[in-house]
Amino acid sequence: MLSEHDCKKLCKFIDCQKLSQEACNHAAQNDRLPVQMTVQVLYFEQLRLKNALCGSCGDTQKMSSGVTSAAMSPRDTYASLRRENRELKLEISRMRVRLSDLEKEQVFMKQGMIDKTGQGKTFLTSLSRGIGRFGIFGGPSHGKRRKSEGKTARSRRYSVS
């Protein structure tokens, strides 16, 4: 097992532009790769898609070489990468905030379901007690009648003999 530092070192040597479609998909979904590597893979995959969509456009020569095109100076390229990096960081932070909001909402919904199931149980319990009082289904009041009938029958039996 490689340490995180060694993994980052090795990932710096990988040229994301030369990865196959299958390798890009795997790298984008692999949680063990550093986030920088995943972002880089996704970026080059996005460039590939733009190139595919703009195949008939005249801009394909400029975009085909990826980040370091002949039309852009190294300084412009660096500034562009920094700006994109900031945008990606902002998007990640927004996603984290959204995730925490969804987790809070899930906790509230779970608590609401627990509260409602507790109320449902008390409702069913009170309903069954109420039905039992009517003696329709042989509830506690039905059993009381039998006991009282049994006592009167005994008293008659004792009084008769």
In tens, the pLDDT along 119-142 reads: 656 666 666 666 666 655 554 544
Q: Does residue 45 contact residue 24 with C-beta atoms inside 8 Å?
A: yes
**Closest to 8 in 3D by CA, of 38, 28, 29:** 38
Q: What is the mean pLDDT of the chain?
A: 74
- DSSP character at residue 71: T
**Structural domain spans, the chain:** 1-55+62-67
Average pLDDT for 69-91 = 81
For residues 22 and 28, give the distance between their C-alpha atoms in angstroms, rounded to a whole number: 10
pLDDT at 63: 44
- 69 and 62 Cβ atoms separated by less than 8 Å: yes
Record the pTM. 0.34
Residue 156 has what pLDDT?
A: 54
pLDDT band at 68 (very low <50, low <70, confident <90, very high): very low
Is the pLDDT reported for residue 86 higher than 70? Answer: yes
